Structure formats: structure tokens, C-alpha cells
Amino acid sequence: MISRTAAIAGIGATEFSKDSGRSELRLAVEAIRAALDDAGLRPADVSGLVTFTMDNNSEIAVARELGIGELTFLTRIGYGGGAACAIVQQAVLAVTAGLADVVVCYRALNERSGRRFGQAYASPDTDAGWHVPTGLATPAAQVAMVARRYLHDHGASTDDFGRVTVAARRHAATNPHAWFHGRPITLDDHRASRWIAEPLRLLDCCQESDGAVAVVVTTVDRARDLPRPPAVIAAAAQGSGPGQFVMTSYYRPTVAGLPEIAVTGRQIWAQSGYRPADVRTAMLYDHFTPYVLMQLEELGFCAPGEARHLIADDGIELDGRLPVNPHGGQLGEAYIHGMNGIAEAVRQVRGTAVNQVPGGGPVLVTAGTGVPTSALLLEATP
Amino acid sequence: MIEEVVARLTAAGETPARAGRDPVNLPMIRTWLEAMGDGNPAYEQAGIAPPAMIQVWTMRGLAPSPVEDPLQVMSDLLDEDGFSAIVATDSEQVYHRPLRLGETVSVRSQLEAVVGPKRTSLGEGWFVTTLSTWLVGDEPVGEMRFRIFRYKPGPRPDRSTALRPMITADNAAFWEGAAAGELRIQQCGECGTMRHPPGPACPHCGSLKPEYTTVEGTGRIHSYVVHHHPPVPGRRAPYTVALVDLTEGVRVVAEYRGPRPEIGDPVRVLFDDGLPVWRPDVEVLGPWELAVTPTLIVSTALATRDFQNVHHDRDAAVRLGGKDIFLNILTTTGLVQRFVTDALGPATDVRGIRIRLGTPCHAYDTLTFTGQVLPHGIEVVGRTAAGVHVSGTVEVAS
């Protein structure tokens, strides 16, 4: 098994902005250099590069710019933000199998100043052809269909969605790297924000960002010899559900669910030997607020339809029952396709986060929701 | 400047009553009915005017108004400010009682709202809303909320950029059906399992014999979305998209047209431009296809005492950017009334006509009306090849 065979030894990022003013390739180079510096490694130590199918920077271009030289492991994972934890899983497989010593996982995007994912997009994909011509042409609208049914099935309200953003913005307010640093919101701000795709308001949608994040993966044995305390990968899982579509899984019996998240969750608990109650803090992918509630249910933190009770009374805020996204998440910090959640999980394991959650339990990370997805569970060395 | 004038007009409140030029009279009613092609005998039998004629009684004709008209003042002011183009967007008429022959009608109006500048699909501009009340003596007999949009023309939304289906060998049957006005759902040629969206194989029995069955197209709403933002090519927001549980047990996503739905509402399919569309599964009226001739446009304009040149002078209409003369709003209102009373019978008591105006209806267009009978009234849509000319609700007393 791969559990506890590999660790994240370094993390790096650019600043998070609305207009980086430089190329995505340069952002990738900057983030990877920072991650290698953090790990105490040099470009020449890297033998594997892994990224998202959606990333515009080829592994070979990145290798050239960094002066990496030879690579023995190059691969990509599809399905947008669902790839975030899966690319780390690829790195784990590579270092565990001995195909590479050090693998860097990266994602660099000018999502705000370049192509904005929130705009209507005529995907050439056949599956999308069932939905886009009907006018269901944006991620927010595609999520809204599931969100409406969730409200209906479980008696939740749009305020329950708003509480997710209130928590994220509270956390971002004290994170100097967050776009929304110093700008918390109230539930009334959420109620007053304009409709994007009912029942989703503007403040149910994550921000759009320019930036890059990279993480360095190697074996636990090698990581122990590096300067930073290793964030051991106790579990790494990928998952797709039955009747899976990209953002439009409307044809399976339960529309208001994320069975692909449950697929990753079952593997995470089985690989690591932990249970949901052991988790100290969770980095849940938060491009749209309703999916945070549904993840809490699918991962076993509460029963189906009960997430609104878990998040009530500040339950997912820093001093709550399960602090979620202490960095502010994609709603508050930046939208780096889930990779900034992995970096925060590493800081939480190291004990160096600006909003540090006390305790010794493992830290969970999830990836894109509504798509084939992935998850990680990180912990400190014993 | 705009703010000052708005403040002055708002503070002024209602204008003094301005009397109509002629009392309610049979010759004008007959001319109006004839121009509209409305054969409803009920009005003459009862000695009353068609409700949709209410504005005609106080039209100024070619004479300048003796009292300041707040709509005209705001419109001229915005025109001077560079908002050179104008469209009427809404006309909401409510009729308190029928007008009887011999009654003299007067009108008072007031500025209700000036909102802007707003960015729309037409361009940036201002919405101006006025409220008019018609009186017989001191008795209010009807009222109208009327809204115009004064704007700087921007690039027009292009329907040709609308997002189209991806047609492949595996889904062609569905889209060919939609083009032919049928809802074709894949059914396995071996085990008979139905499935949507279709594909080359049966996930149930593994056979590679995809066939289809044509279904009636009824079902219930499983979930829905009201899209507001960002703009989607070829669409005017807000619009609704619904996920529907077909009676046969599979789900299909399509645009939904109708009043705001709820989960569980019954719907039925219609087809527009090769795409399925959901509508409430209620009694429908029409379609009624009307050939819009120059004679219709000119005779109705004059019968409604609307002498603006764009409704009778082709050269003037073209010079102002139109492709030909086009229907005036009073006529559109009258045609909406005719459509409903023709369909429901001459005894139909029309209490209100609230319409939203879209693309102009030009000479030589075919104007097709359809309607849906809903608890709050008759939802009517009138379309030309260029798009929706009018949509709205006709309230009738039961």
C-alpha cells in the first residue's frame, strides 16, 4: 500500500492576484522554485513533474526554464479542479514505485486576467452538449441545479450556503496572503449579494484568481533528511461516481449528492486507519458553497442532509467542531484550482499556519466537486 | 442635470387631468375593431369600448399637449444627453370597469421612477417609468404603468452565436427528433431499458443495439435554475432551465418557459429552433398566425390615433434605422386582447393586460401568438422570425 510511504517536503506559491502581469509559465517557475527552496532541494534533484490536464504549461517547458534536465516521470490528471489531490497521488505512486526520487506537482493559471472559468463556455465535449445549448452554460448554473434540489430534499436554506462564505471570509480576514485579507462579511452581506444563478448568489461563488502553487513530493525516508518536518501522506485517493458527468451528474438516482467524494472518503479512511472524528481540520474544495455542505455529508462528518446543523453556531469556523479552510479557502484566499488547500494542509501539519488549528490529528484535503475528484490525508511524522 | 429634472417632476406629482378629444363613441370603436380584425360582437351589444382601447381615448393626435408630459420631458432630456435610441419595454394596463358610450375620459400621469445608467444587451441607458390614471369625472376607470428605455446603442446580441448541440453518431436520433418536433429517448434494442443522455452501448445489458422510442414529453420538474449572470450568447437573462423527470422515468434538461416553477410541477415539451423546451402542462391557446401587412400596421396606427411616422411612412421608418414600418404598442395590446377573447369567447371579461415588449414587428412579418392558461391569468407570447415581439399576462375575470 501507499499509505505513509511518501511525504510533502516543500510548498511554494506566487502572490495571489487578479492580474499577475506575467505569463503562466513564469508563475509556474516562481512557485516551483519557492517549493524547492522550502524543501532544501535544487532543480537538478527533480525527476518528475505532474500537473492538471487543464494547465497550459508543459512539463518540458517548466523543466527547461528551471534547468531540471532529465525527467523520468511526466503525467497529467483531467477533470479540472478534481485533479488537485490526484496529481499528488501520482507523485506518491512514482516515488513509491521508485520511478522518480523527487516529484513536483504544480498548477499555474491566470484565471482572472486570462480565460475566466465562470463565463459561458461552449466546451467541445459531447457531454457538455446536452447542457450548454439549454442555457446551462456556466459552472455556477450547473451547480445551482444540484443546489436547488439539495434545498428541497433537506429543508436547508440559502442562509446555510451563506454561512460557508461567512466562515471562509472570517478566516481569510486574518491571512495576509488571502485576497480578502481584512475583509470579513456577515450573513446579511451574503443575503444582499446579487443572484448569479438562483439559488446561488455572488457570495456563494469562489473568487477568480491569478497565481501558482507547487508542492514537492518524495519518500518519507528522504523527507526526514530535509530541513522541513515532512507532511506524511497517510492516504491519497481518486474517485469517480456512478453515472458521472462533469458538473452535470443529473441522471443518477440522487441528484443532491456527491458520490464521487464518498468514493475518495472511503479510501481515505481505509488507507489511513483514521475516522472522520479524528480529523483536526479539513481543506474542503469550495468553488461553490453548497458543495461544502454536501462534502461534509459524503465524507462522514455528519449524516446526509445534516450539514446545516454541523455548520450552525460557527461549527466550521476556527474554534468550531471542525474548522474548515482556515486559510480562507477559494472563497477567501484564492482560486488556485484547489492547490492552495494542499499547501495550507501542509502548513497545518507543520504548525506554521497563520490560523493554526491546535491538536495533533490528521488534516484532510479534497479536490474539485461535481467532477471526478481526489483527496489527501496528511499528518506529521510520529 | 438628470437628477434635478427627476426631482422637479417627482415633486410635481400627478399632472392636471387632460381630457380626451372625443367621448367614447361607436365610430371610433368600429374603426378600431375593423383595423384589428377583431370580430367580437360583445362590445357593440353591451355599448362598451374594448378594454385595450383605453389609451386611444386620450391620444393627443398631431396636436401638441397642453400640459407637460413627464415621459416626454424625460425622454427629450435623455436624448439631448446622448441616449439617442428608445424602446418601450413594458406596458401594464389595468381596467377597473368598462367604458360606456358617451363617457368622456381624461388622463393624469406622473413620473414613477428613473433608473440608470444601466448596461443591457441593447446598450447603456436609462429606464423611465410613468404611471397614468384614466378618469371619468373623478372616478378612476383604469391605469397604466409604462416604461421606456433610452440608450446609447451598443453591439446587438447575435443569435447566430447561440451555443448549439454537439451532434454525434451516438446522439443524432435525439437531435433529429427535436428538429422534427419529437422527443426521442434512447431505448435498448435488446433489453428495452430507457436511457438519457444516449450512448452507443446499453449499461444495463451490454448490448450495442441503441434504438429509440418517441415519448409524449410530459413529466415533472426535478430541479431548476434561474440564470442571471454572466451573459450567455443568444439568451436574454433571467431565464430558467429545468431538469425534468419524464413520465417514462428518465431525466431531460431543457430551458423552461413559463411563470416561476416549483419542484414537482407538471410540464410538457415544446420545440423551438431545434431544441426541446419545457412549459407548464396546462391548457394552451393558439398558435394564431397573423400576417402583418402594411395595411394592418397603418390602419391600426390611425385607428389608435397614433400618428408617429414610423407606423405609416416606410421612408421615415428606414431613415430611423428600421427595416420597414412597424406595429405600434397600442395595436400590440389590442392584438393580445383579440387573441385571448377569440380563444376564450366573446364573453371574456379582460381586466388587465401587462406586457413586456421585445423585437419590433415589421411589415411582412408573421406574428404568431401562443398562450397558456394559468391560475393568475393567460400567459401570452407573440413571436416573429426575429424573436419575441411581446410577452405578458392577460387577466380575465372568471
Domain with CATH 3.10.129.10 in chain B: 2-156+286-397
How many residue pairs bridge chain A and chain B with CB atoms within 8 Å of each other?
Answer: 101
Partner A contacted by B165 (CB < 8 A)? yes
Cell of A228: 522541513
Domain with CATH 2.40.50.840 in chain B: 160-281
Angle CA(A352)–CA(A356)–CA(A360) in degrees, nearest 5?
A: 90
Cell of B206: 451490454
Task: Identify whether A144 is part of a domain.
Answer: no
Which CATH code for domain B160-281?
Answer: 2.40.50.840
Q: Measured between beta carbons, which residues in chain A are less than 8 angstroms from residue B255? A: 134-135
* CA nearest neighbour of A267 among A86, A94, A49: A86
| Amino acid letter, residue A124 | P
Query: What distance in Å separates the CA atoms of residue A226 and residue B112, rounded to the nearest whole number?
Result: 72
* CA nearest neighbour of A223 among A4, A48, A8: A8
Q: Measured between beta carbons, which residues in chain B are less than 8 angstroms from residue A124? A: 166
Contacts of A97 (CB under 8 A, 6+ apart): none
Task: Identify whether A295 is part of a domain.
Answer: yes
The DSSP-derived string for A46-76 is: --EEEEETT-SS-HHHHHHHHT----SEEEE
Q: How far apart are the first and last CA of chain A?
A: 19
B225 vs A197: CB contact, 8 Å cut-off?
yes
Task: Identify whether A123 is part of a domain.
Answer: no
Q: By three-state DSSP, how is residue A332 classified?
A: helix
Partner B contacted by A198 (CB < 8 A)? yes
Query: What distance in Å separates the CA atoms of residue B382 and residue B338, rounded to the nearest whole number?
Result: 12
Which residue among A145, A194, A196 sits closest to B223, beta carbon to beta carbon? A145
pLDDT number for residue B217: 96
A251 vs B250: CB contact, 8 Å cut-off?
yes
Q: Which residues of A carry out catalysis?
A: 285, 335
For testing contact with chain B, the best of A115, A117, A123, A134 (most B CBs within 10 A): A134
- Provide the number of structural domains found in chain A: 1
Partner B contacted by A76 (CB < 8 A)? no
pLDDT number for residue B59: 94
My answer on whether omega of the bond before A124 falls inside 30° of 0, hence cis, is no
* CA nearest neighbour of A24 among A181, A177, A214, A205: A214
Q: Measured between beta carbons, which residues in chain A are less than 8 angstroms from residue B272? A: none
Say if residue B210 is exposed, middle or buried (CB neighbours under 10 Å; 0-12, 13-18, 19+).
buried
Partner B contacted by A206 (CB < 8 A)? no
Residue A361 has what DSSP assignment? -
Q: Measured between beta carbons, which residues in chain B are less than 8 angstroms from residue A122? A: 163
Question: Among positive and negative, which fits the CA dihedral A38, A42, A43, A49?
Answer: negative
pLDDT number for residue B376: 84
What number is the ipTM of this complex? 0.95
Q: Helix B294-303 to helix B26-36 angle, to the nearest 10 degrees?
A: 160
| Lowest-confidence region among A35-44, A210-219, B266-275 | B266-275
Partner B contacted by A42 (CB < 8 A)? no
Q: What is the CATH number of the domain that holds A222?
A: 3.40.47.10
Q: Are A198 and B226 in contact (CB under 8 A)?
A: yes
Range of A308's domain? 6-114+207-380
A120 to chain B, minimum CA–CA distance in Å?
Answer: 6
Partner B contacted by A183 (CB < 8 A)? no
Task: Identify whether A170 is part of a domain.
Answer: no
> Could you report the per-residue pLDDT of A329-343, keeping only the tens digit for each?
999 999 999 999 999
Partner A contacted by B248 (CB < 8 A)? no
SS (H, E, C) chain B: CHHHHHHHHHHHCCCCCEECCCCCCHHHHHHHHHHHCCCCCHHHHHCECCHHHHHHHHCCCCCCCCCCCHHHHHHHHHHHCCCCEEEEEEEEEEECCCCECCCCEEEEEEEEEEEEEEECCCEEEEEEEEEEEEEECCEEEEEEEEEEEEEEECCCCCHHHCCCCCCCCCCHHHHHHHHCCCEEEEEECCCCCEECCCCCCCCCCCCCCEEEEEECCEEEEEEEEEECCCCCCCCCCCEEEEEEEECCCCEEEEEECCCCCCCCCEEEEEEECCEEEEEECCCEEEEEEEECCHHHHHHHHHHCCCCCHHHCCHHHHHHCCCCCCECCHHHHHHHHHHHHHHHHCCCCEEEEEEEEECCCCECCCEEEEEEEEECCEEEEEEEECCEEEEEEEEEEEC
> Could you report the per-residue pLDDT of A217-263, keeping only the tens digit for each?
999 999 999 999 999 999 999 999 999 999 999 999 999 999 999 99
pLDDT number for residue B122: 80
Contacts of A116 (CB under 8 A, 6+ apart): A208
Residue B245: closest C-alpha in chain A: A251
Residue A115 has what DSSP assignment? -
B232 vs A196: CB contact, 8 Å cut-off?
no
A134 vs B275: CB contact, 8 Å cut-off?
yes
Q: B2-156+286-397: what CATH class?
A: alpha beta
> Could you report the per-residue pLDDT of A320-371, keeping only the tens digit for each?
999 999 999 999 999 999 999 999 999 999 999 999 999 999 999 999 999 9
Q: Measured between beta carbons, which residues in chain B are less than 8 angstroms from residue A119? A: 230
Partner B contacted by A136 (CB < 8 A)? yes
Partner A contacted by B161 (CB < 8 A)? no
Which residue among B168, B241, B275 sits closest to A141, beta carbon to beta carbon? B241
Q: Measured between beta carbons, which residues in chain B are less than 8 angstroms from residue A127? A: 197
Which residue among A122, A128, A144 sits closest to B225, beta carbon to beta carbon? A144
A117 to chain B, minimum CA–CA distance in Å?
Answer: 11
Task: Identify whether A232 is part of a domain.
Answer: yes
Contacts of B8 (CB under 8 A, 6+ apart): none
pLDDT number for residue B161: 64
Query: What distance in Å separates the CA atoms of residue A93 and residue A76, rounded to the nearest whole number?
Result: 13
Note down pLDDT in tens along chain B; length 398 residues. 788 999 999 999 999 999 999 999 999 999 999 999 999 999 999 999 999 999 999 998 887 777 888 999 999 999 999 998 888 999 999 999 999 999 999 999 999 999 989 888 788 999 999 999 999 999 999 999 999 999 988 766 555 566 788 899 999 999 999 999 999 999 999 999 999 999 999 999 999 999 999 999 999 999 999 999 999 988 888 999 999 999 999 999 999 998 889 999 999 999 988 999 999 999 889 999 999 999 999 999 999 999 999 999 999 999 988 899 999 999 999 999 999 999 999 989 999 999 999 999 999 999 999 999 988 899 999 999 998 999 999 999 86
What is the C-alpha radius of gyration for chain B, rounded to an integer number of angstroms? 24
A125 vs B225: CB contact, 8 Å cut-off?
no
Query: What distance in Å separates the CA atoms of residue A143 and residue A289, rounded to the nearest whole number?
Result: 10
B199 to chain A, minimum CA–CA distance in Å?
Answer: 10
B222 vs A149: CB contact, 8 Å cut-off?
yes
B145 to chain A, minimum CA–CA distance in Å?
Answer: 26
* Cβ under 8 Å to A: B residues 275-304: 275
Query: How many other CB atoms are found less than 10 A from the CB of residue A192?
Result: 12
Task: Identify whether A156 is part of a domain.
Answer: no
pLDDT number for residue B160: 56
Distance (Å) of CA B93 to CA A16, B33, B133, B145, B355? 53, 19, 10, 7, 8
Q: By three-state DSSP, how is residue A175 classified?
A: coil
Query: What distance in Å separates the CA atoms of residue A175 and residue A326, rounded to the nearest whole number?
Result: 9
A256 to chain B, minimum CA–CA distance in Å?
Answer: 10
